[in-house]
Structure formats: C-alpha cells, structure tokens
Amino acid sequence: MADAPTLDLFDYALPADRIAQDPAEPRDSARLLVLDRRREGYRDARVGDLAALLRPGDCLVVNDTRVRPARLLGRIDRTERECEILLLRQADDGGWDSLVRPARHCPAGTRLVLADGTARATVTTAGEAGQRRLRLELAGTVESLLAAHGLPPLPPYIRRYRKPEGADWSRYQTVYAAREGAVAAPTAGLHFTPALLEALAAAGVELHGLTLHVGPGTFRPIRAARVDAHRMEAEWYDVPAATAAALGRARAEGRRIVAVGTTTVRALETAAADGPLTAGAGWTALTIAPGYRFRAVDALLTNFHLPRSSLLLLVSAFAGRERILDAYRYAVDAGYRFYSYGDAMLIS
C-alpha cells in the first residue's frame, strides 16, 4: 500500500499582495476561474457570468448560515495587555467554548475585562491552540452583548480584522443568510447578489438551501503531518426535507448538483453518506481529502484556499491535487485575489 500523502504536498507560494483585503464591488464582479475536470486549460470569467456557465436544470445549493458578530475585544484584568475572544458555542455547563488571544497569557483562572468593561470572563478550562472555556459575567444576555459590542469575525489575514470597517458588517455576510450560528462566513456565497440569483432562476437554475454553521474546524490549521491523520472538528448542519427531495429528483433525472462552497459540500456529502441523499440535522465531522469518493456533488463553486488547509484538501480531492495546484499557480500569475474576500473558481 502506498504511503499516505504528507501535508507538505499541499503547499504553494502566494505573494502577500494576492491576499484580498477588500471584497469586489459589486459582489458578482469578482473574477471566476473555470476549471473543467475533463479538459486541460482554464477559462477566465466573472461570477456574474454564472447564469451562462451553468446548465438549465442544475441545482445550485447554498449554505444559508448567518455569521454571528462573535468577536469581543478587551484586556486581561489588572494589566494593560489587550486580548480578544471568539465565542464559539455555549457548553452544557453554561460556559462558552471560545478561542482566546493571546492564549499563552490566558491560563485557567485568568480574568478578562471585555467590551469596554460591560462584561467580564474567567477562563475555567484551558485547551490547545487557543481553545478556552469561559464563564461570562454580564448584566444582560449574550445576544445583547454581541449586538452592542460584537465584531464580525474577519480572518486575521485581513489587516483590519480587529477594527472592521462599516462595509464589513454587510459584506462578510451572504445576501441569503438566514440562520445565525457561524463564526466564519461561507465565503463562496459572498459573491452572490439578488440580481444574479434572479438571472440564475431565469436561466432555469434551481436554488436550494441548507445550513452548516461554520465553526473553527473549517479554518483551524492542520497540525498532523500526514493527511490521513487529520480529523475535522464537528459542525452542526441541517439539510431540509424540501432540499433533499429536490436534489433526489435532480439526481434521478441526471441533472447536476452544484455546491456553493466547501461547507455546502460537507453537508451534502454527510447527507449522502449511507446512500441516497436524505434530509436530517446533526453534527458532522466528515473529513474530505484525496481518495474520498464523492456521492452528492457534481460541481463546486469555491474561493481560493490557504496552503496546507483542510479546504485545500477538499478541493484537491474533488479535482486532483496536481490540477488544483496548477490552477492556483495560474491564478497567482493571472492576478486573481485569494482567500475570504478574494475571487472564485468553478470546478465541474
């Protein structure tokens, strides 16, 4: 048996000026690299061309999760050292599982002053990679705290992530976001506009929704040296009955299922893990890497992903590692913009 691939095979060089700091305006003006897995070469287009690039009868599936303004700034109590927390989810004991920076200065027992002193937190449990469980102390609800003081959880490679600008509040959210619970945006969906959705419908493309609340597992760096040793952290998903039924009809009729984003892929593939795609909700820890056999997804709209990341593993599984890395080299040379606010690929 061949040895499992190592993570260093999923690396690539990216100049810093290719990391998008601002989104394209309008949203659907972002560039789109079209990759047909059956043919050599690439086609340069725009996201706004999707209605012409997709086929009548295609089922476009989107993740309708809504990003929570879950980042809070503050300081370590009785010091001038700044800190930040990202609230992930409430635990059964009432505490909050969180990511805390700087983690090395926040062991168990550390007290934090948050949101200009309107809330406090105590670190009750310290885990790895910045994971902490916090006991919050505040006068109102967590929802009211985040509404008043929470910041959109921009990724750290966006230089203003600690001080988001006004447009970030709307642009780090899809136009169809509905169910709050994500701590990062499903970024492929950031390119859609109401006008583009109308154009797709007019072209005979069906739109269907599901939910996967993007958690830290989607963006956390891989620490295993071997690809087969990596395991995703669980994220909550829900595939509604109407979506499952519509996709079942499409599959029976030979029509394509086109996933918008890697989180949509993971939800669909989880729903099809035991055979036909079925409705259901729960937690998925599905890890997709080269060698995975796709059961539900025929085409994928996705952004360009970080080197050595779980998302790069997923798209490499879908289109082949060498083909993806070659496409990324082409995109770098052609001036495409990378990561959350960057451009996109359509892989079919």
Instruction: Considering the chain, tell me which residue range(s) the CATH 2.40.10.240 domain(s) occupy.
Output: 71-149
Residues 6+ apart with CB under 8 A from 299: 58, 256, 257, 258, 259, 346, 347, 348
- Each residue of 98-115: pLDDT tens digit? 999 999 999 999 999 999
Compute the distance between CA of residue 108 and CA of residue 214 in angstroms, rounded to an integer: 26
Give me the pLDDT at residue 229, please. 85
Instruction: Considering the chain, tell me which residue range(s) the CATH 3.40.1780.10 domain(s) occupy.
Output: 7-67+169-347
Q: What's 7-67+169-347's CATH class?
A: alpha beta
Give me the pLDDT at residue 1, please. 39
Half-sphere exposure of 16 (CA within 13 A, CB side): 3
Compute the distance between CA of residue 223 and CA of residue 218 in angstroms, rounded to an integer: 13
Q: How far is CA 154 from CA 62, 160, 161, 168, 226, in A?
A: 21, 8, 5, 8, 29
Give me the pLDDT at residue 9, please. 95
CB 74 within 8 A of CB 90: no
**Which regions of the chain are under pLDDT 70?**
1-2
- Each residue of 123-169: pLDDT tens digit? 999 998 899 999 999 999 999 999 999 999 999 999 999 999 989 99
Q: Is the peptide bond prior to 23 cis by the omega test (within 30 degrees of 0)?
A: no
Q: What's 71-149's CATH class?
A: mainly beta
Give me the pLDDT at residue 241, please. 98
